[in-house]
Amino acid sequence: MTRKYFGTDGIRGRVGEYPITPDFMLKLGWAAGMAFRKMGACKVLVGKDTRISGYMFESALEAGLTSAGADVMLLGPMPTPAIAYLTRTFHAEAGIVISASHNPHDDNGIKFFSGKGTKLPDEIELMIEELLDTPMTVVESSKIGKVSRINDASGRYIEFCKSSVPTGTSFAGLKIVIDCAHGAVYKVAPSVFRELGADVVVLSAAPNGLNINENCGSTHMGQLQAAVLAEHADLGIAFDGDGDRVLMVDHTGAVVDGDELLFIIARDLHERGKLQGGVVGTLMSNLGLELALADLSIPFVRANVGDRYVIAELLERNWVVGGENSGHIVCFHYTTTGDAIIAALQVLMALKTRSQGMAQARQALRKCPQVLINVRFAGGASPLDHPSVKEASERVTKAMAGRGRVLLRKSGTEPLVRVMVEGEDETQVRGYAEELAKLVAEVSV
């Protein structure tokens, strides 16, 4: 069934433009409360990131939920994965996150977690959608929900993160720069790494409601790169606004992306006999990751782009590690969703186990040159279905003999075909990409 409101990662858009409006959030809270109440007594956790509109939407959701008879527990600003964890530990029916992740402050959105700390089942999302199109009612006065605030939420989550590394672990002697993106990790992330003994320099941890992700965090790495060099730090860690993405910087100031972090974690688990199956990446994961894992005889599969699809593939295969080059990394050993702080801790543990610095640890993954060309088309029949495009794509794939790949896909938001070729020889890769892009353009006329 086609969803009217929910996308692949909840509901997101520009603040003040439907459906990211207070009246819609009121109705959404009511619809969610009604849906969750069908499972019995209903307790819902609500957390948010640091954008200014979070106050407005928190109040609207609270009113809607309580009008449906749901009890609400407010967490305040907390990372998205923290809300997934706390939903489980408080045995709540659901958790709600008010966040637009890595987007600027004038966007916002809503994500839901089930009582197990996972994405909502499809049937619950569809039930909420159906209720949104029905008149809003209020339960009788004696059944209206109550609201409370969890004052020790940060402390609980900090201890949970620390529990993902062996008891007694110390990062003493390690100097780290952390960029908190003026976002949801601004309190908890520095505490986690300091309490584990690291010397921590903190950037972008003064949110004012408008500066989340602004020229900082995992989408703007320049500030962190400069600080690592200026502080003579061992490495830098960059989070996004809601704390589910992480990228790093080695001591030379070079950016370490999600593919490289995923490799470092997977190799460490493999060497310790704890990997359980293989690794899930996405269609955009660099071929170098696939080849480096193959050298270690670690299976690798690609899911569609989006952490939702990575998680679905992991669950289907009963594997435990997956992620995206953007920095969404899932470690099912420890938690139920992508968690930037926990992923960063697993990378630090892998470095500690091997007695390696980041620059040395990443050398086993040689990223392949990747050329991406966008080709505009007028609409109508997809150029990707044209026989000559299919034949050329197959011919180029065969010519690279397993040491390269071709990815042709339509943009989901623009009339574009994305032509991507990657392999070990940059000149060859660029030639193939230009050849395919020219052909796609010709059949698009």
* CA end-to-end span of the chain: 34
Residues 320 and 333 sit within 8 Å (Cβ to Cβ): yes
How far apart CA 408 and CA 391 sit, in angstroms, is 13
Q: Is 101 a catalytic residue?
A: yes
Cα three-residue angle 229-371-347, rounded to 5 degrees: 40
Helix axes 53-67, 22-37, angle to 10 degrees: 40
Residue 63 dihedral angles phi and psi, to the nearest 5°: -65, -45
Tokens matching residue 191: 């505490």
Residue 119 carries which DSSP code?
B
Answer for the pair 43, 93: CB distance below 8 angstroms, yes or no.
yes
384 beta partners: none
Query: What span, in angstroms and rounded, lies between the C-alpha atoms of 347 and 371?
Result: 28
Residues 236-251: b if buried by 16+ CB within 10 A, e if exposed = bbbbbbbbbbbbbbbb
Distance CA 409, CA 419 (A): 7
Pick the catalytic residue from 53, 99, 101, 154.
Answer: 101
Which residue blocks in 197-335 are alpha helix, DSSP H? 222-230, 258-271, 287-295, 307-317
Burial class of 435 by CB neighbour count within 10 A (0 to 12, 13 to 18, 19+): middle
What is residue 7's DSSP assignment?
B
CA 133 from chain centre, in angstroms, equals 30
Residue 359, token pair as written in the block: 């620059």
- The SS3 of residue 97 is strand
Judge whether 248 and 343 are in contact, CB under 8 Å: no
- Helix 22-37 crosses helix 122-132 at what angle (to 10 degrees)? 130
CA-to-CA dists, residue 223 to 116, 155, 156, 257, 275, angstroms: 37, 28, 30, 16, 34
Give the HSE-up count for residue 79: Cα atoms under 13 Å, Cβ half-sphere: 29
**Which residue from 193, 300, 302 is spatially nearest to 246, judged by alpha carbons?**
193
Helix (H, G, I), strand (E, B) or coil at 266: helix
Question: Among all residues, which ones are annotated catalytic?
Answer: 101
